[in-house]
Amino acid sequence: MPPTGNPIRIAVAGGNYGGLGTIKNLYLNLLATNPDYDGTKQAPPNPNVNITLIDRRDGFVHYMGMTRGITNPQYGSQLWVPYTDMPWLQHPSIAIRKNIISRITPAHIEFADSSERLEFDYLVLAMGLSRNAPIGVAASTEREYLDSISRYHKLIQDSKSIAVVGGGAVGTEMAADLKSDYPEKDVVLIHSHQLPVQGPFMNEFRHEVVKVLDKLGIRTIFGERVIDETAVKDDFSLEHVKHSAILPELIDSVKRKATLITSSGNKVEADLIFSSNGIRVNKSMQIDDPNYPHIFAVGDISNHAVVKYAKTAIRNGSVAGTNIVKLINSNGKSVKLDEMSNRGGRGRRGRGERIISTGVTTGTTEYSQIKLELGEQYCVIQSEDGVVPSDFASSMSSPDIKISRAKQNLAVGSYPKFGR
Ligand X SMILES: Cc1cc2nc3c(=O)[nH]c(=O)nc-3n(C[C@H](O)[C@H](O)[C@H](O)COP(=O)(O)OP(=O)(O)OC[C@H]3O[C@@H](n4cnc5c(N)ncnc54)[C@H](O)[C@@H]3O)c2cc1C
What is the binding site for ligand X (CB under 6 A)? 14-19, 54-57, 63-64, 66-67, 100-101, 126-128, 299-301, 308-311, 313, 347-350
Q: What's the closest the beta carbon of residue 315 comes to ligand X, in angstroms? A: 11
Compute the distance between CA of residue 341 and CA of residue 318 in angstroms, rounded to an integer. Answer: 13
Q: Is 218 exposed, middle or buried (0-12, 13-18, 19+ CB in 10 A)?
A: buried
Q: What's the closest the beta carbon of residue 324 comes to ligand X, in angstroms? A: 17
Segment (H or E) for 259: strand 254-262
Compute the distance between CA of residue 175 and CA of residue 220 in angstroms, rounded to an integer. Answer: 10
Compute the distance between CA of residue 415 and CA of residue 235 in angstroms, rounded to an integer. Answer: 49
Q: What's the closest the beta carbon of residue 264 comes to ligand X, in angstroms? A: 28
Closer residue to ligand X (CB): 46 or 383:
383
Compute the distance between CA of residue 169 and CA of residue 167 in angstroms, rounded to an integer. Answer: 6
Angle between helices 17-26 and 310-329 (to 10 degrees): 30
Compute the distance between CA of residue 322 and CA of residue 341 in angstroms, rounded to an integer. Answer: 14
Q: What's the closest the beta carbon of residue 217 comes to ligand X, in angstroms? A: 37
Compute the distance between CA of residue 313 and CA of residue 299 in angstroms, rounded to an integer. Answer: 4
Angle between helices 203-216 and 169-181 (to 10 degrees): 20
Closer residue to ligand X (CB): 273 or 379:
379
**Number of CB atoms found within 10 A of residue 239's CB:** 12
Q: What's the closest the beta carbon of residue 221 comes to ligand X, in angstroms? A: 27
Closer residue to ligand X (CB): 126 or 295:
126
Closer residue to ligand X (CB): 66 or 238:
66
Q: What's the closest the beta carbon of residue 382 comes to ligand X, in angstroms? A: 14
Closer residue to ligand X (CB): 223 or 350:
350
Closer residue to ligand X (CB): 18 or 196:
18
Q: Which residue is nearest to ligand X (CB)?
A: 299
Would you say 94 and 28 are in contact if contact means Cβ atoms under 8 Å apart?
no
Q: What's the closest the beta carbon of residue 389 comes to ligand X, in angstroms? A: 21
